[in-house]
């Protein structure tokens, strides 16, 4: 097959993304220090392919060198802080908490104790945590840190834990995270000493200090935006769906008493306890954290509910017992805020500055020196916090100058100049060091030890892979690709020598080549850049083009192996799937009513599992389940009682009746079913099919599918004209709207779903892979593959599979691949035609009924095969075993670990559960 023509062009603009610096240097060091490294020895080998220490060192130097250099330099710049941190780590809780918080967040996505408790209690979330740990282990391995899953397990979590922690905080982890923390500490200390200095001396010159706290302008602005509004409040804030609901709740809390100043607290406490009747009763209003609202730089609890709620609470209500400005400390009737109705009681608000309810305007500070001094001190703290992220470079530059650094590696020096333009380039050469300062140095051997820790598996393997691809598969290159690249290199060097490359000629051609392409010789550039280009073409060929030989016939050997793996995997998935699932095709018309919990009063359904985790004893859980069941049964009774309406209109009415506490048809009051913070919502889902059901969360999907199976099995009759229309339906045999229990209701993260089945149709039929043997298709017609080329040299080679009748009952006979037909297997002919047409996105020539069956069987398998992660695995495996030749790489490079990482990535760390496990064993030999 002819390859699509693609000219390789490398523009200078793309080449110098890393390295554009000024051309002011007339002379400088051009030599690269290699220390005592044995550059000519083989570092890694794979069969006949060898990678020298020099090649590996320079590629690691190019990709990881500057990062290692900066890390080493940081340990010098912040040496005092690092020593203090290490000396005090085991005794300083702030240090250990900071590290643990960063580690836990990186692994588990949050350091919020409540969220982590919920995840640990949830079986599905526990699986996610396991995968999170595996991903983190691989991430850190790429940084040269080896961890075990046990070491990353969370220590015991409960409500008393402020900062979560892991089992084993190793020295390597501490060293990985501590530089960031050390910098934060250093930056804060620097600012604390600098904000009062109007001017600073820089390079012998007096300059304005950018971090100076100018009291004449910064004090008022910073105070007004921060300290003035920081407070801690206590109060009861309750949200209701409508006014009638709020008034009913208030009437029940009054219990016959008048709401006035002397009874307000008692009534509001009753109101709170009725509202949250499943929680411990509010008894001590001075210490109960449930009625505390914080407002500071990190959070604003009241504003999180609503800005208008915050305004009413802080500005329109007084502290308890005060009637200043004719304002009360409670609402005597519900207030409409953004369409919801609130009842609010305010105990007190203590602002940070005043320690009481008074929020000082800035002008009020004048004349009160003690108060002003306190405001100034707090405002300076806020000012420092606002500057922490911008001051880092100031401190670094100041300390750097004292080190008198000399950088001997020209590539690293050039990158350093991009950020620190005041640095004077080194003209001398020292083969022993990467850099040195007045007090210390960084040896080449130490540098190599550091950079080979970082991702050496991927970098080393891919360098070998480029050599193999370039050598064995150069026929995949487009015409003149090699010559085009050679010309591009020569043109770039010519521009460099002419001063048109943004780099001074003093850097030398070899360094320019390295800066531009990442390799130290023209041959290395050709092998690696063209190897990468071949890789893309080779992958495309591997996916489908090699199915066809140059004379447009089927590549039987390839099809026999690779297509067979796809087919066999698909059949294994198919055969391991529940029989009902395989043949299930349906259409159901569904409405549902959702019972959700809004415990935090924000108007949105709380995560059900998270809410259930707050019920800390069995008695509370039993009470809650009974309440859900009672509400659900009343809804079922209402649906049956309402006549002459569509299903959805019944559900909508029930929601309205619930919100407004209308009486039920049985004479009860919906208010009696609000023992917990229940909300109702009606939704019409319309037609749900075996395909669209996949759009729902897994619990809902599985429930609906089981519900369909039950309907089919019970031969459920739904007559839209009788009382069965829109009946609630469940997923378990024998369960009816009259006898269901808590366990029978559909549960998802959103809450409880009562599903109304309005109609259903069973379109199921066992997936069939053969056609009937009729007179019209007795004779088997060989599959014909044709390559359609519009011109003699087209860039777009479209592959078409053309076939007439190609599949029917031939059980026991072999197809042209030697694959014996079986009643429960699709033939390789079918798989081939479908595969090629699916890959090309062409219109299928296969009979629609069989195409649909093959789609169900093959699409997910083909898509899996095409993924970049699996193709990367296949490519790497073509190398065979990679051996370590250089002693210093022992323990650093691990080919098998890299292959395992690729498998983990391809299977999203779920290989044990994956139907594709055989793809990664000798059972599937993908080699060609």
- Give pLDDT tens digits for 308-362: 999 999 999 999 998 777 889 999 999 999 888 999 999 999 999 999 989 999 9
Q: What is the pLDDT of residue 802?
A: 36
Q: How far apart are CA 415 and CA 398, in angstroms?
A: 19
In this structure, the number of other CB atoms found within 10 A of the CB of residue 265 comes to: 17
Q: What is the pLDDT of residue 342?
A: 95
906 pLDDT above the threshold of 90: yes
Confidence of residue 190 (pLDDT cuts 50, 70, 90): confident
The number of helix segments (H) and strand segments (E) in the chain equals 31, 18
47 pLDDT above the threshold of 70: yes
Long-range Cβ contact pairs of 90-95 (< 8 A, separation 24 or more): 95/181
CB 595 within 8 A of CB 775: no
Q: What is the pLDDT of residue 747?
A: 94
130 pLDDT above the threshold of 50: yes
Give the dihedral sign, CA 379/178/148/56.
Answer: positive
- Percent of the chain's residues with pLDDT above 70: 82
Place of tokens 């099809």: 559
234 pLDDT above the threshold of 90: yes
Between 703 and 676, name the one with better pLDDT.
Answer: 703
Q: What integer is the mean pLDDT of 233-240?
A: 93
Q: What is the pTM of this model?
A: 0.74
What does residue 745 show for φ and ψ, rounded to 5 degrees?
-80, 145
What does residue 81 show for φ and ψ, rounded to 5 degrees?
-65, -40
14 pLDDT above the threshold of 60: no
Closest by CA to 881, choosing from 889, 891, 893, 870, is: 893
Q: What is the pLDDT of residue 677?
A: 83
Q: What is the pLDDT of residue 771?
A: 33
Closest by CA to 77, choosing from 391, 390, 384, 398, is: 398
581 pLDDT above the threshold of 70: no
17 pLDDT above the threshold of 80: no
pLDDT tens figures, 462-515: 999 999 999 988 888 888 999 999 999 999 999 998 888 777 788 888 999 999
822 pLDDT above the threshold of 60: no
Report residue 296 CA to chain centroid gap: 29
902 pLDDT above the threshold of 90: yes
Q: What is the pLDDT of residue 780?
A: 28
Q: How far apart are CA 426 and CA 506, in angstroms?
A: 12
Tokens for 297, please give them: 């730089």
| Residues with Cβ within 8 Å of residue 311, at least 6 apart in sequence | none
**Lowest mean pLDDT segment, chosen from 179-188, 352-361, 807-816:** 807-816
Strand locations in 91-159 (E): none
DSSP code per residue over 834-901:
HHHHHHHTPPP-S-HHHHHHHHHHHHHHHHHHHSHHHHHHHHHHTT---EE-SGGGTTT--HHHHHHH
What does residue 792 show for φ and ψ, rounded to 5 degrees?
-65, -30
The Cα-based distances of 137 to 98, 149, 151, 454 in angstroms read 20, 7, 10, 13
Tokens for 731, please give them: 């997923």
The SS3 of residue 474 is helix
| Residues with Cβ within 8 Å of residue 847, at least 6 apart in sequence | 771
Confidence of residue 719 (pLDDT cuts 50, 70, 90): low
Q: What integer is the mean pLDDT of 166-193?
A: 90
Q: What integer is the mean pLDDT of 595-624?
A: 83
**Largest pairwise CA distance in the chain:** 108
Confidence of residue 820 (pLDDT cuts 50, 70, 90): low
Q: How far apart are CA 492 and CA 319, in angstroms?
A: 75
Q: What is the pLDDT of residue 928?
A: 57
The SS3 of residue 136 is helix
What does residue 487 show for φ and ψ, rounded to 5 degrees?
-65, -40
CB 836 within 8 A of CB 828: no
10 pLDDT above the threshold of 60: no
Confidence of residue 611 (pLDDT cuts 50, 70, 90): confident
Confidence of residue 168 (pLDDT cuts 50, 70, 90): very high
Q: Exposure pattern of 701-734 as b/e (b: 16+ CB <10 Å)?
A: bebbbbbbbbbbeeeeebeeeeeebbbbbbbeee
Closest by CA to 7, choosing from 531, 533, 484, is: 484
Q: How far apart are CA 400 and CA 419, in angstroms?
A: 12
815 pLDDT above the threshold of 60: no
Between 119 and 886, name the one with better pLDDT.
Answer: 886
Q: How far apart are CA 248 and CA 236, in angstroms?
A: 17
Confidence of residue 787 (pLDDT cuts 50, 70, 90): very low
Average pLDDT, the chain: 83
At 447, which helix (H) or strand (E)?
helix 444-451
């Amino acid at each position: 097959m002819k390859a699509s023509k693609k000219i390789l062009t490398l523009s200078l603009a793309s080449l110098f993304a890393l390295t554009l610096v000024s051309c002011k240097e007339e002379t400088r060091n051009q030599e690269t220090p290699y220390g005592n490294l044995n550059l000519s020895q083989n570092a890694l080998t794979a069969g006949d392919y060898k990678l020298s220490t020099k090649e590996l060192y320079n590629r690691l130097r190019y990709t990881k060198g500057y990062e290692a250099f900066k890390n080493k330099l940081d340990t010098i710049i912040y040496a005092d802080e690092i020593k203090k941190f290490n000396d005090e780590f085991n005794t300083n809780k702030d240090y250990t908490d900071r590290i643990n918080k960063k580690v836990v967040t990186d692994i588990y996505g949050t350091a919020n104790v409540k969220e982590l408790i919920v995840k640990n209690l949830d079986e599905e979330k526990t699986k996610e945590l396991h995968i999170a740990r595996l991903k983190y282990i691989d991430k850190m391995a790429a940084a040269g840190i080896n961890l075990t899953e046990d070491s990353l397990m969370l220590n015991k979590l409960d409500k008393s834990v402020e900062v979560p922690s892991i089992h084993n905080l190793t020295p390597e982890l501490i060293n990985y995270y501590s530089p960031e923390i050390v910098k934060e500490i250093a930056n804060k200390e620097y600012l604390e000493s600098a904000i009062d200095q109007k001017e600073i001396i820089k390079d012998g010159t007096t300059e304005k200090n950018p971090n100076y706290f100018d009291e004449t302008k910064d004090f008022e602005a910073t105070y007004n935006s921060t300290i003035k509004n920081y407070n801690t409040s206590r109060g009861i804030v309750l949200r209701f769906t409508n006014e009638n609901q709020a008034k009913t709740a208030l009437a029940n809390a009054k219990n016959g008493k008048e709401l006035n100043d002397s009874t307000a607290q008692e009534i509001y406490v009753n109101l709170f306890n009725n509202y949250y009747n499943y929680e411990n009763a509010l008894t001590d209003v001075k210490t109960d954290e449930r009625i505390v609202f914080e407002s500071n730089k990190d959070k604003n609890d009241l504003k999180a509910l609503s800005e208008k709620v915050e305004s009413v609470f802080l500005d329109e209500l007084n502290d308890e017992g005060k009637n200043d400005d004719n304002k009360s400390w409670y609402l005597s009737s519900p207030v409409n805020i953004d369409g919801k109705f609130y009842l609010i009681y305010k105990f007190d608000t203590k602002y940070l500055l005043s320690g009481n309810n008074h929020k000082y305007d800035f002008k009020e500070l004048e004349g009160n020196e003690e108060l002003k001094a306190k405001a100034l001190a707090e405002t300076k703290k806020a000012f420092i916090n606002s500057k922490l992220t911008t001051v880092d470079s100031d401190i670094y530059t100041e300390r750097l100058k004292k080190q008198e650094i000399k950088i001997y590696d020209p590539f690293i020096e050039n990158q350093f100049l991009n950020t620190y333009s005041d640095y004077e380039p080194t003209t001398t050469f020292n083969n022993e060091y990467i850099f040195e300062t007045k007090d210390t140095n960084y040896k080449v051997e130490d540098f190599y030890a550091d950079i080979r820790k970082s991702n050496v598996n991927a970098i080393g393997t891919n360098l070998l892979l480029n050599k193999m691809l370039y050598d064995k598969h150069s026929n995949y290159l487009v015409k003149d690709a090699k010559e085009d690249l050679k010309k591009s290199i020569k043109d770039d060097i010519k521009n460099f020598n002419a001063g048109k490359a943004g780099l001074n000629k003093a850097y030398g051609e070899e360094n320019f080549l390295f800066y531009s392409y990442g390799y130290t010789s023209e041959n290395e550039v050709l092998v690696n850049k063209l190897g990468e280009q071949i890789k893309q073409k080779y992958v495309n060929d591997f996916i489908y083009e090699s199915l066809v030989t140059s004379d447009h016939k089927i590549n039987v050997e390839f099809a026999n192996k690779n297509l067979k793996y796809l087919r066999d995997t698909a059949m294994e998935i198919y055969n391991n799937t529940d029989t009902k699932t395989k043949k299930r095709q349906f259409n159901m018309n569904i409405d549902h009513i959702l019972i959700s919990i809004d415990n935090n009063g924000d108007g949105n359904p709380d995560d059900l599992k998270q809410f259930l985790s707050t019920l800390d004893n069995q008695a509370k859980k039993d009470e809650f389940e009974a309440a859900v069941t009672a509400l659900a049964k009343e809804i079922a009774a209402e649906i049956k009682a309402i006549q002459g309406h569509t299903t959805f209109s019944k559900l909508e009415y029930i929601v309205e009746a619930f919100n407004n506490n209308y009486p039920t048809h049985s004479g009860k009051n919906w208010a009696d079913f609000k023992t917990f913070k229940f909300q109702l919502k009606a939704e019409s889902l319309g037609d749900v099919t075996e395909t669209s059901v996949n759009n729902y969360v897994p619990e809902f999907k599985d429930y609906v599918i089981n519900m369909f199976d039950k309907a089919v099995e019970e031969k459920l009759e739904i007559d839209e004209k009788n009382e069965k229309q829109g009946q609630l339906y469940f997923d378990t045999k024998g369960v009816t709207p009259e006898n269901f229990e808590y366990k029978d209701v559909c549960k998802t993260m959103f809450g409880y779903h009562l599903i109304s089945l309005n109609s259903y149709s069973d379109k199921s039929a066992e997936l069939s892979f053969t056609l009937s043997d009729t007179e019209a298709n007795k004779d088997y017609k060989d599959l014909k593959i044709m390559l359609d080329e519009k011109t003699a040299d087209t860039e777009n080679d479209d592959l078409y599979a053309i076939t007439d009748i190609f599949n029917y009952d031939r059980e026991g006979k072999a197809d042209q691949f030697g694959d014996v037909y079986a009643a429960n297997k699709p033939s390789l002919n079918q798989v081939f035609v479908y595969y090629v047409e699916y890959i090309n996105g062409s219109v299928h020539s296969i009979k629609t009924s069989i195409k649909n069956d093959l789609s169900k069987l093959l699409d997910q398998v083909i898509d899996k095969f095409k993924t970049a992660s699996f193709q990367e695995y296949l490519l790497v495996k073509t190398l065979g075993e990679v051996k370590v030749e250089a002693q210093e790489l022992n323990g650093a490079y691990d080919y098998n670990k890299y292959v395992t990482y690729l498998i983990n990535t391809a299977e999203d760390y779920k290989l044990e559960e994956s139907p594709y496990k055989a793809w990664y064993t000798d059972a599937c030999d993908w080699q060609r």
